Structure 1
């Protein structure tokens, strides 16, 4: 995909990777909301790790990068890369605490807010069909919710609506307005609770908006749960059914699903853990099972590194949307959203890795409330991709340091290696 649509909007700016990562952690509300809530408490393990399991050609640079992530304290990592040297997949660390086995190379995992790119694609398919207007008021499609008529479909996908984030809001002055519990013991005690999408949206609408529609940027899960309701209202079918019909089946994504109330990861998978404080004691619990209906349309999907790679490549190469709408997803990203992931467009971030690397890279990472992290990166033409799953263990680590370090390592290894 040509990146000239970015250049046409002004000079290209380079974001030094590690500096950007640190800046990102200073703005937790800009991370996937679940990761923002969890960043102070999620922890990994520094247990001895077995040698990385790999598939494809030997890539010592990538094997070293993922082993260093485990050495820094995460329990496990699965990584898949496609570039001019071919395909490579590998894993390092442990599949679960107390096990000597490495994580499965293509195991299933909770992809968190990587789900948002899937949801944005569904909405934009309806735009391509003329059934939804990108700049039309959302209230026109969902009048029963009493939405501000100034909020457009574009504002949902771009996080410009100003709607309260139902998983909680974190303001620059340190003020916190709580929402649905998203971390620690409070989340743990309710991790199997089921939520209906409309229930989540009505909770958000009962709180004051963060700003007037279109006047600012703030990452809010509410936007994408509303997008789910929009898909269901316009099509007359469930979000899960439309996802299967429009994306999963056409692309053969057999490892991907919209789980609804399903709490188990089906098939081979690595285990993720939450280390949390209970009174004056620290405890560790396996959170591989969790009900993510609390993030409907915004962070609830299950997938594999292979399926996420296939999806993102197909999207960027025009198999799911017309080229003009694909370009619209990363054209003119909002400068107010600048973070370690880049700047936000429509369902994806736009990161400029600079002239010494691959230049513009598109991404959307994610995390459920605990245990897992998901990475999804690609050049705009889909020729170089990185997808990964990270799992947390039982060691007391500073995720605010370890996560950006791991991210920087992988992005540099894949997008800054010119050999």
Structure 2
């Protein structure tokens, strides 16, 4: 296990330089070790508290070795991609290129049944009722298609072959990766550039997110990283390398704990969106849900509400949350071994990060 606590020059610095080492926060390393003991091969985390930054790792980077998890390692961030996509969509709304209440039919005519009644906001907040293409994929198909390049239209076709999960858009929250696949297609239709290029030019480059990328069809994680695995009858299979087009706009992002903390700090500080659209982003889809327009939240054990998102990309699971003022942040990524459920130990880790 490795743990580092440093004082950083600024909470939003992309690569904060350490100036003084101090004692570790209470229980953070212990809680990260508990996450790995419960269900992980390895884990890495970054917690920010004002100007202090703690980075820690637990477990190993690769099964069968004693190699430590790289403390600034990259990982597949899964559905945290959706917050990046939503940010670009909302920037286009601010530029009058899109409107939240525009129907999908306006931009993708004839593609989606009932597209005249499904609005862009329904895609963003998962109330479209469109079936999730992920639920059409079996693990065996995923294993057999490891190097396949998936087209966005192909994923949408798979989803539309299934009946909708609700008949009236906007009424029922039902998480569906199909929604963000369609948003990626709409970004390209409006801008003439891919959603990946728009995220790069609007978010990744301006924020200096040097460890963040959208790999497209490249199967590699280019910088130091823990290995990721999927379960098979023969045991864990190293599935670190795969064609990430299977995730596309719903989850292809590769990032680091530092970059994700910086992204959410800048987003919540209002530097990427005007106040009215950031408020829309935080507005729940339906009463009783904690998901707005690509942004989720959770209430900690001490009553602090934190905003962010979590992601699952088969081989990596990640969580990135921040207080509204971005003074306190926590990002953690786990390479699961599928022997248990990480939710409870992750909840404890996040509560420790935000409440002690």
TM-score by length of 2: 0.90
Quick check: 1:321 aligned with 2:277?
A: no
Structure 1 pair 186/237, CA: closer, same or farther in 2 (3 Å)? closer
* 4+ runs deviating over 4 angstroms: none
User: For 1:243 and 1:130, how far apart are their aligned partners in 2?
Assistant: 18
Describe how 1:332-343 pairs up with structure 2 within 5 A. 332-335=284-287, 337=289, 343=290
Q: Residue 19 of structure 2 corresponds to which residue in structure 1?
A: none
Give the match's secondary structure for 2:349: helix
User: For 2:158 and 2:260, how far apart are their aligned partners in 1?
Assistant: 31
Give the match's secondary structure for 2:27: helix
Among 392, 406, 409, the alignment partner of 2:348 is: 409
Give the match's secondary structure for 1:327: helix
Q: Give aligned pairs, total.
A: 338
Contact 1:139-1:145 within 8 A present in 2 as well: yes
User: For 1:147 and 1:374, how far apart are their aligned partners in 2?
Assistant: 33
**Post-superposition shift, 1:105?**
0.8
Among 194, 204, 212, the alignment partner of 1:238 is: 194
Contact 1:54-1:105 within 8 A present in 2 as well: no
Quick check: 1:218 aligned with 2:174?
A: yes
User: For 1:352 and 1:97, how far apart are their aligned partners in 2?
Assistant: 34
Give the match's secondary structure for 1:364: strand
Among 352, 368, 393, the alignment partner of 2:313 is: 368
Q: Residue 325 of structure 2 corresponds to which residue in structure 1?
A: 381
Deviations 1:218-259 (A, max 9, x none): 000000000101110110111111111100000001111111
Structure 1 pair 152/160, CA: closer, same or farther in 2 (3 Å)? same
Among 101, 108, 114, the alignment partner of 2:74 is: 108
Give the match's secondary structure for 2:55: strand
Give the match's secondary structure for 2:133: coil
Give the match's secondary structure for 2:54: strand
**Post-superposition shift, 1:270?**
0.4
> RCO (CA 8 Å, sep 6+): is it higher in 1 or 2?
1
Deviations 1:117-153 (A, max 9, x none): 1111010000111110011111111114144210001
Contact 1:364-1:377 within 8 A present in 2 as well: yes
Quick check: 1:54 aligned with 2:11?
A: no
Q: Residue 157 of structure 2 corresponds to which residue in structure 1?
A: 202
Quick check: 1:124 aligned with 2:76?
A: no
Contact 2:126-2:285 within 8 A present in 1 as well: no
**Post-superposition shift, 1:336?**
5.2
Structure 1 runs not aligned, ≥5 long: 1-50, 169-178, 338-342
Give the match's secondary structure for 1:297: helix
User: For 2:206 and 2:319, how far apart are their aligned partners in 1?
Assistant: 23
**Post-superposition shift, 1:193?**
1.6
Deviations 1:244-288 (A, max 9, x none): 1100000001111111111111110001122222xxxx3221111
User: For 1:97 and 1:382, how far apart are their aligned partners in 2?
Assistant: 35
Describe how 1:18-417 pairs up with structure 2 within 5 A. 51-56=1-6, 57-59=22-24, 60-84=26-50, 86-148=52-114, 149-168=116-135, 179-181=136-138, 183=139, 185-212=140-167, 213-277=169-233, 282-335=234-287, 337=289, 343-353=290-300, 356-358=302-304, 360-369=305-314, 371-393=315-337, 397-399=339-341, 403-417=342-356
User: For 2:39 and 2:250, how far apart are their aligned partners in 1?
Assistant: 28
Contact 1:127-1:134 within 8 A present in 2 as well: yes
Q: Residue 14 of structure 2 corresponds to which residue in structure 1?
A: none
Q: Residue 15 of structure 2 corresponds to which residue in structure 1?
A: none
Cα-Cα RMSD: 1.6
Contact 1:166-1:221 within 8 A present in 2 as well: yes
Structure 2 runs not aligned, ≥5 long: 7-21
User: For 2:353 and 2:303, how far apart are their aligned partners in 1?
Assistant: 9
Contact 2:317-2:333 within 8 A present in 1 as well: yes
**Post-superposition shift, 1:88?**
1.2
